[in-house]
Amino acid sequence: MTYKEALKKGRELLEKAGLEEASTDAWLLLQHRTGISRSQYFLRERDEVQPDQETQYFDDLARRKRHIPLQHITGVQEFMGLEFMVNEDVLIPRQDTECVVEEAVKYLQDDMKVLDMCTGSGCIVISLADAARQKRFRNMEFTGADISEKALRVSGFNAEKLQADVTFVQSDLFENVTGQFDLIVSNPPYIRTDVIEELQDEVKLHDPYIALDGKSDGLFFYRRMVEEAGRHLHPKGRLLFEIGFDQGKAVSGLMEKAGYTEIVVKKDLAGLDRVVSGVYN
């Protein structure tokens, strides 16, 4: 089968299975298995795909048809221009979360200690460490915390692969976290339990449930972190959260009530509230 035929067949198979991005998905799987780039494809579309690669490609398509996320098949997700390894133990990094990194980067300075709570794949803290290195900040310390040991295996792997100097700690929120920080960032589970049922199969069946579930009102982890972060923030330290599109008011309210000041809500590319942060006094 030629590259062109393989791509067409792949797209048709995925379209039939009702996948919205059939064309893109088929292309990415073909690229994943054969290593062909877009420009090579246009030169070589009439060449034969190697038989073993063809077999693997059709196996991948069969998995994708069952709504297994593309990233669990390819094993990677790009985030902030870096390639992160992902599996079913971590939430697949979302583009929305790049807003968290972009906002947090504005607050980086020399000599800062930064904590990423609920680090998952490590995408936030590793991107921040990478940005700090590029901007030549000095004497910074980065820590990632997560309750899941399996997630920490992924974040540890990613830090090593991307040569980011990050320390990881297994901890139920602040339980095993010691010391104080200048910036605490977090993308905690924030989906209301009753809403999880309505999410796409890719998300509700394949992202870790504990990475999604924000309990009955979705605010469980914000409440606990707003309460407990003070003990781990230097005076004037900042707490910065990713939030769901409808949680801006509630989360900034929690921070205000706990005495945080300079509270800012930032929107994502779709114009929806996505980041809230405030300064601890």
- What whole-number distance in Å separates Cα of residue 277 and Cα of residue 227? 14
| 4, 44, 94, 266: residue in contact with ligand GLN (rule CB under 6 A) | 94
The piece of 42-50, 52-60, 184-192, 273-281 that touches ligand GLN (CB under 6 A) is 184-192
Task: Identify the residue among 19, 30, 203, 254 touching ligand GLN (CB under 6 A).
Answer: 203
Query: Nearest distance from residue 147's CB to ligand GLN, in Å?
Result: 14
Which stretch in 12-20, 47-55, 168-176, 181-189 sits in contact with ligand GLN by CB under 6 A? 181-189
Interaction of residue 223 with ligand GLN, rule CB under 6 A: no
Q: State yes or no: residue 124 binds ligand GLN (CB under 6 A).
A: no
Q: Out of 10, 69, 144, 189, name the contact with ligand GLN by CB under 6 A.
A: 189
Does 191 contact ligand GLN by CB under 6 A?
yes
Residue 140 beta carbon to ligand GLN: minimum distance, rounded to whole angstroms: 25
Environment class of residue 270 by beta-carbon count within 10 Å: exposed (0-12), middle (13-18) or buried (19+)? exposed
Amino acid occupying residue 129 = A
> Cβ distance 206 to 226 under 8 Å?
no
Nearer to ligand GLN, 203 or 275 (CB): 203
For residue 26, state whether it binds ligand GLN (rule: CB under 6 A): no
Q: Between 57 and 190, name the residue whose CB sits nearer to ligand GLN.
A: 190
Query: Does position 224 bind ligand GLN by CB under 6 A?
Result: no
Cβ neighbour number for residue 246 with a 10 Å cutoff:
11
Euclidean distance between CA atoms 162 and 169, whole angstroms: 18
- Name the strand (E) or helix (H) holding 35: none
CB of 221 or CB of 280, closer to ligand GLN: 221
Closest CA to 232 of 277, 264, 185: 185
Q: Are 190 and 222 in contact (CB under 8 A)?
A: yes
**Least distance (Å) between residue 224 CB and ligand GLN:** 14
The residue count for the chain: 281
Binding to ligand GLN, residues 146-175 (CB under 6 A): none
- The piece of 10-18, 46-54, 88-96, 101-109 that touches ligand GLN (CB under 6 A) is 88-96
Q: How many CA atoms lie within 13 A of 91 on its CB side?
A: 23
Rank residues 123 and 191 by Cβ distance to ligand GLN and give the closer one.
191
**What is the rounded distance in angstroms from the CA atom of residue 193 to the CA atom of residue 210?**
11
Helix, coil or strand: residue 145? strand
The CA-based diameter of the chain, rounded to the nearest angstrom, is 65
Pairwise CA distance, residues 275 & 104, whole Å: 10
**Chain contacts with ligand GLN (rule: CB under 6 A):** 91, 94, 96, 187-191, 203, 212
